[in-house]
């Protein structure tokens, strides 16, 4: 007979918290797995009362939403955690933030609003800002215009199964060129479709259509994620949870 864990099953999830966090600076080079490991350790350090799955190797209840690629910074990564004891979301946010390396920051923590649906359903788009050191606005702007004027821009993407051609154009809802301190900035709103189009793919597309070859590696930051509406705005995915909370807090007074 295989051994079974003794004792009662782990306590159930009584509260779900949704977190927005940032990876910055040097830690933009952390992969999704690196961050997941780090977050799980920080949860233990901060003594957040996590709910666990049953079995001999119980896992804390954490669900990650699509992670920014290794090398890209982000101000808008999302994760949902299940707790076995109700906690003040702000206390969890502060405790967890203090337990993480400096360049990973927990920016928001809200309780999942009842009946508001899943977080994943509220995210279908990323807002990117890509710094292009060594590129001027005068070089970037026409390249972006050329890219937007096309219906399809095929680029080769490195996947697990070798190089694969994908269309980098269709996913890009909007794009524009800007400049800060003499450095060109590419702003864009990119839908999260399959296959995923990442900032690198758009840069490859700019090279293909306008021969734009940045002399230094670009630096991408995901500034926001959310649902893209008809007006081109990306809605805050934690908005519905906040809205759901307000009446209850009133009721508590």
Partner 1 sequence: MTGETLYPRLEPLLAQIQKPIQYVGGELNSQVKPWEDAAVHWALMYPDAYEVGLPNQGLMILYEVLNERPDALAERTYAVWPDLAALMREHGVPQFTVDGHRSVADFDLLGVSFATELGYTNLLEALDLAGVPIHAVDRDGSHPVVVAGGHAAFNPEPVADFVDCAVLGDGEQVVGDITDVVKAWKAQGRPGGRMELLARLARVEGVYVPRFYAVSYGPDGAIAGVQRTRDDVPATVGKRTVMDLDEWPYPKTPIVPLAESVHERMSVEIFRGCTRGCRFCQAGMITRPVRERTITGIGSMVEQGLKATGYEEVGLLSLSSADHSEIGQLAKQLADRYEGTNTSLSLPSTRVDAFNVTLANELSRNGRRSGLTFAPEGGSERIRRVINKTVSKEDLVRTVTTAYANGWRQVKLYFMCGLPTETDEDVLEIAELAVEVIRAGREASGSKDIRCTVSIGGFVPKPHTPFQWASQASAETIDHRLRVLREAINADRRIGRSIGLRYHDGKPGVIEGLLSRGDRRVGRVIERVWREGGKFDGWSEHFSYDRWTAAAAEELAPFGVDLDWYTTRERTEHEILPWDHLDSGLDKEWLWEDWQEALSEEEVADCRWTPCYDCGVCPTMGTEIQIGPTGRSLLPLTVV
Classify the phi-psi angles of 132: left when phi > 0, otherwise alpha if psi is within -120 to 50, otherwise beta: beta
- With CB under 8 A as the contact rule, the residue among 216, 233, 246, 248 that binds partner 1 is 216
What is the Cα–Cα distance from 207 to 87, expressed in whole angstroms? Answer: 50
User: Should residue 12 be labelled a site residue for partner 1 when binding is judged by CB under 8 A?
Assistant: no
Number of Cβ atoms within 10 Å of the Cβ of 250:
8
- With CB under 8 A as the contact rule, the residue among 17, 19, 22, 30 that binds partner 1 is 30
- 229 Cβ contact partners less than 8 Å away, ≥ 6 residues apart: 235
| Nearest to partner 1 of 40, 146 (CB atom) | 40
User: Should residue 213 be labelled a site residue for partner 1 when binding is judged by CB under 8 A?
Assistant: no
Assign 236 to helix, strand or coil.
coil
- Beta strand 73-83 with 219-228 is parallel
User: Should residue 33 be labelled a site residue for partner 1 when binding is judged by CB under 8 A?
Assistant: yes
User: Should residue 5 be labelled a site residue for partner 1 when binding is judged by CB under 8 A?
Assistant: yes
| Tokens 């840069």, located at residue | 203
Which DSSP helix (H) or strand (E) runs through 148?
helix 137-149
User: Should residue 132 be labelled a site residue for partner 1 when binding is judged by CB under 8 A?
Assistant: no
- With CB under 8 A as the contact rule, the residue among 13, 15, 38, 154 that binds partner 1 is 38
| Nearest to partner 1 of 53, 174 (CB atom) | 53
Query: Which parts of 145-164 interact with partner 1 (CB under 8 A)?
Result: none
User: Should residue 108 be labelled a site residue for partner 1 when binding is judged by CB under 8 A?
Assistant: no
Per-residue b or e along 73-86, where b marks 16 or more CB atoms closer than 10 Å to that residue's CB: bbbbbbbbbbbbee
User: Should residue 172 be labelled a site residue for partner 1 when binding is judged by CB under 8 A?
Assistant: no
Q: Where are the alpha helices (DSSP H) in the chain?
A: 32-45, 89-99, 137-149, 199-210, 239-252
Tokens standing for residue 70: 């290794």
Query: Of 95-103, 116-124, 153-161, 173-181, which segment contacts partner 1 by CB under 8 A?
Result: 95-103
CB of 55 to partner 1, least distance (A): 8
| Tokens 């995901």, located at residue | 222
**DSSP symbol at 112:** P
User: Should residue 27 be labelled a site residue for partner 1 when binding is judged by CB under 8 A?
Assistant: yes
CB of 43 to partner 1, least distance (A): 7
- With CB under 8 A as the contact rule, the residue among 13, 32, 34, 150 that binds partner 1 is 34
Tokens standing for residue 80: 């949902």
User: Should residue 177 be labelled a site residue for partner 1 when binding is judged by CB under 8 A?
Assistant: no
Which DSSP helix (H) or strand (E) runs through 150?
none
- With CB under 8 A as the contact rule, the residue among 9, 44, 86, 248 that binds partner 1 is 44
- With CB under 8 A as the contact rule, the residue among 26, 158, 164, 248 that binds partner 1 is 26
Query: Under the rule (CB under 8 A), what is the footprint of partner 1?
Result: 1-3, 5-7, 25-27, 29-31, 33-35, 37-38, 40-45, 47, 52, 56-58, 70-71, 99-103, 216-217
């Amino acid at each position: 007979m295989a051994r079974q864990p003794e004792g009662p099953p782990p306590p159930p999830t009584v509260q779900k918290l949704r977190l927005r966090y940032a990876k910055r600076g040097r830690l933009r080079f952390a992969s999704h797995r690196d961050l997941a490991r780090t977050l799980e350790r920080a949860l233990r350090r901060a003594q957040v009362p996590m709910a666990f799955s049953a079995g001999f190797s119980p896992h804390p209840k954490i669900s990650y939403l699509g992670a920014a690629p290794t090398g890209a910074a982000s101000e808008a990564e999302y994760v949902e955690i299940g707790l076995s004891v109700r906690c003040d979301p702000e206390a969890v946010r502060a405790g967890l933030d203090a337990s993480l390396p400096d360049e990973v920051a927990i920016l928001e923590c809200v309780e999942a609003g009842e009946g508001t649906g899943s977080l994943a359903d509220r995210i279908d788009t990323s807002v990117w800002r890509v710094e292009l050191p060594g590129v001027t606005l005068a070089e970037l702007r026409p390249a972006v215009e050329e890219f937007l004027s096309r219906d399809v821009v095929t680029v080769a993407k490195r996947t697990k199964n070798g190089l694969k051609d994908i269309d980098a154009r269709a996913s890009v809802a909007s794009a524009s060129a800007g400049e800060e301190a003499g450095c060109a900035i590419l702003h864009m709103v990119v839908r999260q479709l399959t296959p995923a189009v990442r900032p690198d793919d758009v840069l490859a597309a700019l090279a293909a259509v306008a021969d734009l070859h940045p002399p230094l590696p670009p630096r991408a930051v995901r500034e926001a994620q959310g649902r893209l509406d008809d007006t081109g705005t990306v809605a805050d995915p934690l908005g519905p949870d906040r809205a759901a909370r307000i009446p209850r807090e009133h009721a508590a007074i």
